[in-house]
Amino acid sequence: MATESELREAICEVGRRLWVRSQVAANDGNISVRMEDGSILCTPTMVSKGFMACEELVKLTPDGRLIGPGRPSSEALLHLACFCARSDINAVVHAHPPYATAFAALGRPVPTRYLTEIAVALWEVPCAEYATPGTMEVPESALPMLATADAFLLRNHGVVTVGRDLWEAYYRMETVEQGAKVATVIAQLGGAPAFDEEQLRDLAAIRRDSGLGVRPDDYNPGGCIERTVQGWGKTASHDNGGNGQ
C-alpha cells in the first residue's frame, strides 16, 4: 500500500497530466484518493491542477470533515459520495476533457461499441441527469451511475472516473476522452458499424476474465447522501463558490 506522501505525489502527477493533456482548464477538475485508514486526500479549491504542490492537498474524514489545513473544492461532495457508495474504489478523478464533455453537453453517452479498448475497459459511459455544480444534486445524480459504470458523464459539465487505485481512475479518464474523440471522427467520416452480438459476447467474456465490471456487493449507495451532507456541514472552511469545479 502506498504511503500518504507517495499518494500526494501521485495526485500532483495526475493533475499535471490532466492539465498538459488539456483535460482541465483554469482551476477545473478534482482528484481524490481513499487511503488505507479510510481518510481521503483531495485536491484543494481554486488551484490549477497543473501547478499543485503536494502539501496543498486537503485531508478529509470519510464523511467529509476537514483534517488539518486547506479548503477542499465543493465538488469534494461528489468524491465523498462515490467512496461511500462503492467499497471497491479508492480513487475518483473528475475532469472536463473537451470531446467527452461535448457528449455531456448533448446528454449523450460516449459510444463504446466501435473500439475494443473502450468496450473492454469500460463497457458503458452513461450520462447523469443535470445537476447544479457544488450542490448535493451532483452526488445525487452521480450515485445511480456507479451501479454499473466506472466512468460517466455529468450532464452539461464533464466526466467522472473511478478506480481501485489512482492510476486506474486516471487511465479511465484517458480512455473515455480517446473514445469520445474517435467516435466524433467516425461520425464525421459518415459512421461505422457497431460490434455485433457475437463480438459483444466475446468482449464481455474478456471483461469478466479480467475482473472488470461492478460487482453488486460493492455498490451500496443507501445513506451516502445523508452521511455526506452531515459531515460536510461540520466542515467550516470549505468553498461553496463556482470555481474549482
Contacts with Zn ion, residue ranges (CB under 5 A): 158, 245
Q: How far apart are CA 114 and CA 193, in angstroms?
A: 7
Please state the closest distance from residue 159 (CB atom) to Zn ion, in A: 9
* Least distance in angstroms from the C-beta of 160 to Zn ion: 9
CB of 154 to Zn ion, least distance (A): 7
What's the closest the beta carbon of residue 95 comes to Zn ion, in angstroms? 7
Cβ nearer to Zn ion, comparing 66 with 159: 159
Q: How far apart are CA 18 and CA 12, in angstroms?
A: 10
Smaller CB distance to Zn ion: residue 158 or 163? 158
Cβ nearer to Zn ion, comparing 34 with 157 = 157
Q: Any idea what DSSP says for residue 191?
A: -
Instruction: Provide the sign of the torsion angle of the four alpha carbons 94, 98, 99, 105, taken in this order.
Output: positive
The set of cell numbers assigned to 134 is 457544488
- Spatial separation of the C-alpha atoms in residues 88 and 219, rounded to whole Å: 8
Helix 4-20 / helix 166-188 crossing angle, nearest 10 deg: 10
| Closer CB to Zn ion, 90 or 245, in the complex | 245
CB of 116 to Zn ion, least distance (A): 29
Is the separation of the CB atoms in 146 and 82 below 8 Å? yes
Nearer to Zn ion, 89 or 153 (CB): 153
Computed from CA positions of residues 240, 242, 244, 245, in that sequence, does the dihedral angle turn out positive or negative? Answer: positive
Please identify the residue of the shown chain whose CB is closest to the bound Zn ion.
245
